[in-house]
Amino acid sequence: MSTPADPGRQHRLWARAEAAAAVLGPLALPRPQGRRRGGQEGIHRSRVAGEGRDFWQFRPLEPGESREQVDWRRSARSDALYVRTHEREQPARLLLWVDPSPSMAYASAPGLPTKADHARLLAGALCAAVARAGERVAALGEARAASPRLVFEHLSGVAVPDLRRVPLAAGDRLLLASDFLDPAVTDAVAALAVRGAPGLLLQVADPAEISFPFTGRVALHDLDPTATERVVDAGPEARARYLAVWQAHLDRVAAAARAVGWQWRLEATDRPLSRALADAARALVGP
């Protein structure tokens, strides 16, 4: 388990996440009709009365209830007054995970957020927006749903031991935010999807990782303190080799998502929050 992030910074991130979620508005999740991979999605209902769209049954008007609720066509066939009821739509559940790996602590410039902070900000905003729609939210690996704030706190530095074995239930939808530099994270996607859960891979990258803007002799410091510093000549050939390897990395992650019917997005940490959140929201509720 990694060390929890600075509480003050996380409080500021959560305030930004809440504000962004308020602008985005409630984000309802599609309901799966079954847990099999490739199954159709629709409304997941509980056979009890409640708020919903589809008719369930009629019931007698109860004392104290408004006569505006009466279904007069049904009531005309008897001496009693009847009310039309609907099936209650069971809330779906969004499970979120933000990679706590050391590589996520990278930011190439002082004015940029780290990949971890950007991922937590987007995940927290999506979590809050989904909860505003009446859905349940939880950190991946947690058995019970929680408030968006508690989920956000859990995302701030807590690792999941094995993504392939976390508990899932019918109606779950997953959000994994990572740079996916650890192949084990990408490899876990198939094991999660085979249990029927749809999801979104949000691949977070610093703009320097995307464009490799370096020139001359560059010292590369690994975020792992045990790693050795490397000095490279960042000329045109080195940049071309790097960009080829980087594109292959993106292709592998995108292919892992595509193979199981998940969504994938590359998210740069320098994008405006409103645009990043809107695009992530569309991808999250996509097929």
Beta carbons of 160 and 54 less than 8 angstroms apart: no
Coil vs helix vs strand at 60: strand
Strand partners, 175: 96, 200
pLDDT tens for each residue of the chain, 287 residues long: 344 457 788 889 999 999 999 999 999 998 755 443 333 344 344 443 444 444 456 678 777 667 777 878 877 888 888 777 655 455 689 999 999 998 999 999 999 999 999 999 999 999 999 999 999 999 998 878 889 999 999 887 666 668 878 888 877 999 999 999 999 999 999 999 988 889 999 999 999 999 988 887 877 766 666 767 777 777 888 889 999 999 999 999 999 999 999 999 999 999 999 999 999 999 999 76
Coil vs helix vs strand at 86: strand
Instruction: Give pLDDT, residue 211.
Output: 93
Instruction: Give pLDDT, residue 34.
Output: 43
Instruction: Give pLDDT, residue 236.
Output: 87
Instruction: Give pLDDT, residue 142.
Output: 83
Instruction: Give pLDDT, residue 265.
Output: 97
pTM for the complete prediction? 0.77
Instruction: Give pLDDT, residue 80.
Output: 81
Instruction: Give pLDDT, residue 218.
Output: 77
> The tokens 């629709």 sit on which residue?
42
Rounded to whole angstroms, the Cα distance separating 192 from 185 reads 11
> The tokens 């099999």 sit on which residue?
36
Rounded to whole angstroms, the Cα distance separating 203 from 218 reads 25
In angstroms, what CA-CA distances link 248 with 76, 79, 110, 183, 241?
A: 69, 73, 28, 13, 11
Distance of CA 196 to the CA centre of its chain: 16
Answer yes or no: CATH 1.10.3470 is held by domain 7-38+91-284: no
Domain segments of the chain: what residues?
Answer: 7-38+91-284, 45-89
What percent of the residues of the chain are helix, what percent strand, and what percent coil, each to the nearest 5? 40, 20, 40
